[in-house]
Structure formats: C-alpha cells, structure tokens
C-alpha cells in the first residue's frame, strides 16, 4: 500500500472538483520498479494506493483524509451521508469532517463486538466512552435495521462529537456498505422552511416525521439549503450541543417521543437514560409495558396564538403516551413559578401572567397517572413588541 502525500499543492491543481484526497493514483500507466515491483494505477482495491493533497489544511486534516481514503480501500467507493464528524467515511450535506470511526464501521472490520439486548424483555445496560473503549449497544430490530447507541465524552482527539452524552443512531441497509445512518438528534425532528427570496432556512415547528439539523438538505432555485451558515442561523449541520440524550435535556427515546423510535420492523421499544455512574451512563431499554414503566416524553411547544391580545394562548402538541394525565406550565423567567396545570385532553393555556417589560421564558412538562414527571420542554421566549402592539416569540433549543 502506497500513500502518496503532496504538500503545498496549489489550489488550481486540485483535481475532480477540488477533492483533497482520492483512493486512486490517476497515473497514465503502471510503474515497474528496478527491483520488479509493479505499482498499479486504478481505484480502490485494484490500485496500489491512495493519494491526498490536503497539506495546506494542516496536520489534522491531512491525517484524517489519509485515513478516509484508506477506508475506501477497505469498505468501497461510497460514503455515509448525514453522519457529519461521527464517522470516517462521511459525506454531505457537510464534508471534510472525517474523524474517529462510527461503530458501524469499526464492527464491520471486526474491531469491536456490539452489546446486543434481547428484544422480548427489558434490560439495563451501562455504556462507557465509545471512542476509547469501543462500548456500543445494538438493538437489532431486524437483520437489516438496527439502532446503535454510543456514549460520547470528548476525551479523545478522534472524537469530534459536538455534545457529550448518549448518541442514538437508526441504521438501515445495515449489512451493506454504505449503510443509511440517521442520527436521532435529541433536539428532535422539525419542519424546515426555505425562503428563496432571502435565501434563508429556518426551523418552524416540531414534527416527529420531519428532518433534523444534521440530515435536512434541499436544493431549490440552484441554492443548496442545509443547516450551515450563509443560509441558516448556525452550523448545526456539523452537530451541536443538543444532539445527545442525557438526564437533563432529553431522557426518553420512545415510539411517541420526538425524535421517535418508530421503525420499519414495527418493534416498539423505549430507551430511558437512567443515571450517571462516574463516567458511565446506564440506560433502561424497555420492550414490555413501555409506557407504564417510563416517564412521559418532554412536550413540544408549537407557539402562541392571539398575539395581539394581552393574554395570548400558548399551544403545544398533545403527548401520545396512553397513561398520560396532564401538563404543568411554568414561567422560568423573569420570576419562576407554576402558572397552570391542565388535563391531558387540553393542549393550550391562556397566559395571564406575562411581563410586558421583560423576556418571558415558558416551559411545559407532562405527568402520567403514576405521577412520573417528564423533563421540561424546550423553552419558548415571548417578548412584547410595543411598536406593533403584539407578542413576538421564538422557540429555543434549550430547556
Ligand atoms: Zn471519500
């Protein structure tokens, strides 16, 4: 295996639309050395090596591009989309972020073994840092459809996850390269809105069946829209600090949570983040009585209506847990207090306590018939616009 590494390669000489590496030598003919060795041109396993021309991007980039091209030699010519910097053979919507291998990649090379759970009973599993220990939980819904669960802790330079905690991936086409991998981002799936006039993209309303910030990508009027700056408010397409499940942000991944564990194999299960044990995190995986056993998922606020009224109406999506009992609505800023309890059949509350002169932050939590409380929803920020005489609101990512 020959690694051909250029440095100070002029930009204009980048080949093939500016790729900085290739699992191909692009030689016009094979080279015979004096001692009788043949160096083959040709791609992947047919060629004798790989090349990269990324020197100007620095050592780290050079290192991971070389690893990426070598990985093509091992896996094949394709790429895994939508996994950003959480895999080595990643591809769009954001490129050039290859880092430590995804657990799907490592296991394919037989470097690790998955921890499988039985699909007919409840289990408790404790996971240590994935990158440094290789711990990975697998829920094999079927031969070709899995869930893989990794804990990321950012203790290795190969780990470029933007968040710390439990990453859940839905894998389809699991037995072939490239698999389809969806990061089940803890900040949920959304409807996204493109404004072609201003060439901007924004999240509008939570939608379990929608896309998330790492896999939304659309081309419209010759412009690419994904969650990166230029068209979006931030660079969440590379991941952000709300992607991992943990004890305080999002602790339930169930068939009715957002994101949801609904799958093609129709296997119903819930993952509950149970506790932190030192650096490890223990998880409960439920297949039996999943709603009776677990807390409800955190509610999803839709927005406010009657924005010109001094008492606008807060709306949220109804939770779908069959044992749900109701919701608690709280102001957390400027003064922390509970402002309402409503029954499960309602999904709105008239806000009579808003402050006209400050930012109002409001949260909704849910509780079930066993009095288990969900985490608080993401916050809605509500401010009075005195010029337009109306309330303006923003759905925040944090809770
Ligand atoms: Zn590649």
Alpha carbon of 230 to ligand 1 centroid (Å): 25
Counted residue by residue, the chain has a size of 399
CA 258 to ligand 1 centroid distance, Å: 32
Alpha helices in the chain (DSSP H): 59-75, 103-108, 130-133, 290-293
How many A from CA of 65 to the centre of ligand 1? 8
Spacing, Cα 131 to ligand 1 middle (Å): 21
DSSP string covering 324-358: EEEEEEEEEESS-EEEEEEETT--EEE-----TTS
Pairwise CA distance, residues 107 & 114, whole Å: 7
Give the separation between CA 135 and CA 144, rounded to whole angstroms. Answer: 21
Can you tell me which residue has the tokens 């939570």? Answer: 206
Distance 352 CA to ligand 1 centre (A): 56
Closest to 206 measured CA to CA, from 315, 305, 291: 315
Least Cα distance to 79 among 162, 159, 181 occurs for 181
Cα of 108 from ligand 1 centre, angstroms = 17
The answer to whether residues 159 and 131 touch, using CB atoms and an 8 Å cutoff, is yes
Stated pTM of the model = 0.94
Spatial CB neighbours of 339, under 8 Å, sequence gap ≥ 6: 329, 330, 331, 349, 351, 352, 353, 362
CA dihedral 131, 84, 254, 365 (to 10 degrees): 100
- The Å distance, Cα 57 to ligand 1 centre, comes to 17
- For residue 144, report the distance from its CA to the centre of ligand 1, in Å: 24
180-213 burial, b at 16+ Cβ within 10 Å, e below that, comes to: bbbbbbbbbbbebebeeeeeebebeebbbebbbb
- How many angstroms separate the Cα of 198 from the Cα of each of 158, 193, 316? 37, 12, 29
Cβ 253 vs Cβ 245: under 8 Å: yes
Instruction: For residue 232, report the distance from its CA to the centre of ligand 1, in Å.
Output: 26
Q: In this structure, what token pair is assigned to residue 315?
A: 């709306």
- The predicted pLDDT at position 381 comes to 98
The CATH class of 301-395 is mainly beta
Distance 263 CA to ligand 1 centre (A): 29
What's the CA gap between 273 and 247, in Å, rounded? Answer: 6
Long-range contacts of 203-210 (CB under 8 A, 24+ apart): 203/395, 205/302, 205/303, 206/258, 206/300, 206/301, 206/302, 206/317, 206/395, 207/258, 208/257, 208/258, 208/259, 208/260, 208/262
169 CA distance to ligand 1 middle (Å): 21
- List the chain domain ranges: 1-77, 102-294, 301-395
Task: Specify whether the backbone of 339 is left (phi greater than 0), alpha (psi in -120 to 50) or beta.
Answer: alpha
User: Which residues of the chain fall below pLDDT 50?
Assistant: none
What is the whole-number distance in angstroms between the Cα of residue 69 and the centre of ligand 1? 6
Contact 104, 114 (CB under 8 A): no
Spatial CB neighbours of 10, under 8 Å, sequence gap ≥ 6 = none
Q: 25 C-alpha to center of ligand 1: Å?
A: 14
The per-residue pLDDT for 95 is 75
Closest CA to 185 of 241, 255, 244: 244
**Distance from Cα 95 to the centre of ligand 1, integer Å:** 9
- Separation of 90 CA from ligand 1 center, angstroms? 7
Question: Could you tell me the distance, in angstroms and rounded to a whole number, from the CA of residue 79 to the centre of ligand 1?
Answer: 6
Distance 106 CA to ligand 1 centre (A): 17
How many whole angstroms from 394 Cα to the centroid of ligand 1?
39
């Amino acid at each position: 295996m020959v690694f051909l590494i250029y440095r100070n390669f002029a930009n204009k000489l980048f080949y093939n639309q500016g790729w900085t590496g290739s699992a191909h030598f692009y030689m016009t003919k094979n080279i015979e050395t004096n001692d009788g060795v043949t160096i083959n041109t040709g791609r992947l396993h047919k060629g004798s090596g790989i090349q990269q021309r990324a020197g100007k991007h620095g050592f780290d980039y050079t290192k991971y591009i070389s690893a990426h091209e070598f990985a093509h030699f091992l896996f094949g010519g394709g790429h895994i989309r939508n996994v950003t910097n959480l895999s080595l053979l990643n591809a769009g919507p954001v490129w050039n972020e290859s880092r430590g291998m995804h657990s799907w990649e490592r296991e394919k090379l037989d470097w690790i073994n998955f921890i499988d759970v039985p699909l007919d009973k409840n289990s408790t599993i404790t996971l240590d840092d994935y990158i440094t220990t290789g711990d990975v939980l697998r829920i094999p819904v079927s031969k070709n459809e899995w869930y893989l669960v990794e804990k990321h802790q950012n203790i290795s330079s190969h780990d470029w996850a933007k968040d710390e905690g439990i990453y859940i991936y839905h894998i389809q086409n699991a037995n072939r390269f490239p698999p389809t991998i969806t990061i089940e981002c803890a900040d949920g799936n959304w409807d996204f809105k493109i404004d072609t006039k201003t060439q901007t993209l924004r999240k509008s309303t939570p939608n379990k069946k929608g896309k998330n910030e790492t896999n939304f990508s659309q081309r419209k009027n010759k412009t690419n829209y994904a969650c990166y700056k230029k068209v979006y408010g931030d660079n969440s397409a590379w991941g952000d600090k709300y992607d991992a499940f943990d004890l305080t942000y999002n602790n339930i991944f169930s068939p009715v949570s957002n994101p949801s564990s609904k799958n093609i194999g129709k296997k119903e299960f819930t993952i509950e983040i149970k506790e932190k044990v030192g650096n490890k995190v223990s998880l409960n995986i439920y297949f039996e009585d999943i709603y009776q056993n677990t807390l409800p998922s955190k509610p999803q606020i839709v927005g406010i209506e009657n924005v010109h009224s001094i008492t606008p109406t807060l709306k949220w999506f109804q939770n779908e847990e069959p044992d749900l009992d109701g919701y608690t609505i709280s102001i957390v800023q400027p003064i922390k207090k509970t402002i309402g309890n409503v029954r499960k059949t309602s999904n709105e509350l008239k806000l009579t306590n808003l402050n006209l002169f400050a930012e109002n932050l409001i949260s909704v939590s849910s509780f079930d018939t066993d009095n288990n409380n969900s985490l608080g929803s993401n916050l809605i920020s509500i401010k009075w616009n005195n010029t337009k005489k109306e309330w303006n609101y923003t759905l925040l990512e944090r809770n």
